[in-house]
Amino acid sequence: MNAATVLPASAAARPGIDAPTVRRPALSAWQALERGIDRWTGAALNPLHHVGSMAFLCFWTLAASGIYLYAVIDTSAAGAHTSIERLAAWPWFYGGWLRSVHRYAADAFVVLMGLHVLREWLHGRFRAHHRFSWLTGVPLIVFAFVCAIGGFWLNWDELGQYSALATAEWLDSLPGLTTPLARNFLSPDTVGDRLFSLFVFVHLGVALWMAFGLWFHIQRLPRARVVPPRPLSLGLLAMFVGLAAVAPVVSGPAADMTRVPAALRLDWLLLFVHPMADSLSGGLAWLVVGGALALLLWLPFMPHRSAAAPAARVDPEHCSGCRRCVDDCPYAAIHMVAHPSGKTGHELAVVDADRCARCGICAGACPSATPFRSVADLQSGIDMPQLPVNTLRQQLRQRLLDAPAAQPIVVFRCVHAPMPASLRAADVVNVELLCAGQLPPAFVEYALRDGAAGVLIQACAPGHCAFRDGATVLHERLHGAREPHLRPAVPRERWAMVRADAPDAPALESILERWRDPPAARTRAHTPTAHELPS
């Protein structure tokens, strides 16, 4: 699909669908950057789509290399620097290069963490069902920098000395401290093994807190991606090893409390707070850091103009307790309880409105959402009040009736996906969804039986889905890997699923041309088929 043919989706009112929020210029610029990288890597391997999972990989790398380093180095005040220097002199197969990998993984972790926060903020993923993940993610920023700064102290060279003293002086600028912490670094006698035990706790103890925090951070995200695709994983690890070989991390002279270091090789990614505190004064630096964190924590509670759409609704009379909606929900917003009817073993789905993303993926999973049911008012076990399955069926029927073509092409498309110019043709019938995952697969067969020349499903490209898993879930349903599935008897050449803006997707125009009836301009009389008639 040529990105040049993509036109902005219409913001006109659509039955049952709220128009997408107007995109901010910064978001548009970010999405343009992502699409540009998509053309080189493919959407599935675009690093910007995997910054969260790549940060997780950096954390696993830090944990593995850190365990080894802790086992082989001396963590006493007198022996720390000497043991690390000895480690650097060992042959490579003894793991001396892991120290460099450890540092580069820490730098990459901070960069990827920043990109992850920026991407989520630009997409507005900090309120409503995203609030929990956002609020549990902000403290991880603090943990990351505290743990990183504490790691420099364990080396106890001149850089570690500078970092420890700068941190103590910055903490001393807080009101209420009766004993200055900086006095612990006035002479060699004050830096002993007891102080080094504190250094170890800061570095390793906070790392353990961070491991728990990361686990907590993804608790409401079923199928959370904590490892990037294999090519990205191997590329990231190879980059760390390559940097360790080409530019190994080396220590400075051993710490000496009797003199001030003259020159330092500062890691600006991990230690930027020290020069900031020096230039702004300690109190103002605390104000900047505290204000930034307070702003991040306030974002989920910031007033929002748009009224929240209604959450998914469960109909107890039609819910069979099959649990498909529970399995497919990308935000763990649905759980099962005993059915109020009291039947043994009969369960009922319950929706947590605070967690519900209003995506409709659960509605597409419901077995009672098939349009072939011979009832005038189609009711399913779980549905979206703003765009129920009965409205989808009525829209499809009416637009097929109104289509000027004898055999129009039906397009089910996600409202969040950009609309190509080719889908605005007169012989194309567009039916928009809250998310591609909202579509029950039976609608494909229903549209074909009702006279469609072909059925196209347009979903968001990998990494662009507004609801994480919508396109993936629908793809699995259509190909029989997830229930409800599309019947194998439906001719495969009569339907196709494409990803919007995906460079590796089949050419959209060729798919449409394959289905077009040459005399597409002629009209046709519509006769209701047996599967349309109410009982």
Amino acid at 19: A
- Say how far apart CA 81 and CA 65 lie, in whole Å: 18
Residue 70 has φ and ψ, to the nearest 5°, of -65, -30
> DSSP secondary-structure letter at 313?
E
Q: Are the C-beta atoms of 467 and 413 separated by less than 8 Å?
A: no
Q: Nearest Cα to 364, choosing from 451, 478, 237?
A: 478
User: Environment class of residue 426 by beta-carbon count within 10 Å: exposed (0-12), middle (13-18) or buried (19+)?
Assistant: exposed
Q: Are the C-beta atoms of 124 and 249 separated by less than 8 Å?
A: no
Q: Are the C-beta atoms of 57 and 108 separated by less than 8 Å?
A: no
The predicted pLDDT at position 504 comes to 44
Paired strand residues for 413:
432, 458
DSSP H or E run through 292: helix 282-298
Q: Are the C-beta atoms of 149 and 162 separated by less than 8 Å?
A: no
The predicted pLDDT at position 501 comes to 64
**Mean pLDDT for back-to-back runs of 10 residues, the chain (535 residues):** 37 42 74 90 92 97 95 89 88 86 97 97 92 96 96 93 92 82 75 87 95 95 93 97 94 86 89 94 93 96 81 94 96 93 81 95 96 92 96 95 92 91 91 96 96 94 89 95 95 90 63 73 39 34
Q: Hey, what are 92's tokens? A: 């490579």
Amino acid at 69: L
> DSSP secondary-structure letter at 419?
E
Paired strand residues for 428:
409
- Say how far apart CA 227 and CA 338 lie, in whole Å: 36
Q: Are the C-beta atoms of 161 and 256 separated by less than 8 Å?
A: yes
The b-or-e profile of 375-384 (16+ CB within 10 A means b, else e) is eeebebbbbb
Amino acid at 472: T
Task: Give 425's contacts (C-beta < 8 A, 6+ positions apart).
Answer: 512
Q: Are the C-beta atoms of 347 and 338 separated by less than 8 Å?
A: yes
Count of Cβ atoms closer than 10 Å to residue 178 Cβ: 4
- Say how far apart CA 484 and CA 471 lie, in whole Å: 15
- Say how far apart CA 177 and CA 101 lie, in whole Å: 38
Looking at the chain, how many residues does it have?
535
- Say how far apart CA 397 and CA 193 lie, in whole Å: 78
Return the domain boundaries, the chain. 48-301, 313-532
CATH class name, domain 48-301: mainly alpha
- Say how far apart CA 356 and CA 359 lie, in whole Å: 8
What is the Cα Rg of the chain in Å?
Answer: 29
Distance of CA 186 to the CA centre of its chain: 47
- Say how far apart CA 319 and CA 220 lie, in whole Å: 24
Q: Are the C-beta atoms of 61 and 50 separated by less than 8 Å?
A: no
Amino acid at 146: V
Residue listed under structure tokens 């690890």:
237
Task: Give 388's contacts (C-beta < 8 A, 6+ positions apart).
Answer: 16, 363, 378, 380
Q: Are the C-beta atoms of 450 and 396 separated by less than 8 Å?
A: yes
The predicted pLDDT at position 16 comes to 44
> For 253-379, where are the alpha helices, taking DSSP H only?
268-271, 273-280, 282-298, 324-328, 361-365
